[in-house]
Amino acid sequence: MKKIVIAGAFAGLGLLVACQPAAQRAEAPKAEKKKLSAEEKFKIALFKNQDKWQKACSNPTQLVPEGIDIDTFKKEMLATVKYPEGGVMGDWKKGEKLFGDPRKQGKSLRGNCYACHCGDPTVIACGNIGPSLRGYAKRGKDPKETYIRIYNSWAQNPCSVMPRLGYHGVLKPQEIADIVAFLHDPSSPINK
């Protein structure tokens, strides 16, 4: 009788092991993730989490598409602008570093204004995507308007290719104020 009970117990145990899900018996092979190409990664980064205005501007012509009210667009973009406590004119020497003077190790990955603009007349290497900013203080621009353009350029020029540096948190309000001072202060090398 004991032999029958023991044999039954082993049979039952064998049945339990045999019925155990395959995932518990052996590690199931993991599915390999598809490796994305650089182009696919770029498209995901470009189009993921876009607000309604970015979606409207994501078109081949970089113009505001039909059906978008420009005044509403500008008002909504202006409402996103946050100002620093001390005003829109900061320290131009700090602004010079953020602007990215390559001679002074100012290769700022955050401001990097020289990638698109010319600034200090003694710096030859500069971009030409945006306008030259040499002698900017002499143009009579309002520092607040300059601040807004750097913080969220779309508040003044919808769908502009100018990066919205404050809107996207690339630069803090005080850092933008420092760049504004670099552009407007008569002592700044950009205005010599």
Whether the pLDDT of residue 39 is over 50: the answer is yes
Better pLDDT: 83 or 34: 83
Please compute the mean of the pLDDT values over residues 131-155 and round it to a whole number.
95
- Measured distance CA(116)–CA(126) in Å, rounded: 7
In whole angstroms, how far apart are CA 20 and each of 7, 9, 16, 32, 64?
20, 17, 6, 25, 61
- Measured distance CA(135)–CA(100) in Å, rounded: 17
Better pLDDT: 94 or 32: 94
Better pLDDT: 68 or 140: 140
| Per-residue model confidence (pLDDT) at position 153 | 95
Query: Which tokens sit at 61?
Result: 């012509």
Domain ranges in the chain?
A: 70-191
CATH number of 70-191: 1.10.760.10
Please compute the mean of the pLDDT values over residues 68-76 and round it to a whole number.
89
pLDDT in tens, 12-31: 444 444 444 444 445 555 55
What are all long-range contacts of 25-34, with beta carbons under 8 Å and residues at least 24 apart?
Answer: none
Cβ neighbours for 143, distance < 8 A, ≥ 6 positions apart: 88, 89, 180, 184
What are all long-range contacts of 47-53, with beta carbons under 8 Å and residues at least 24 apart?
Answer: 53/77, 53/154, 53/158
| Per-residue model confidence (pLDDT) at position 62 | 58
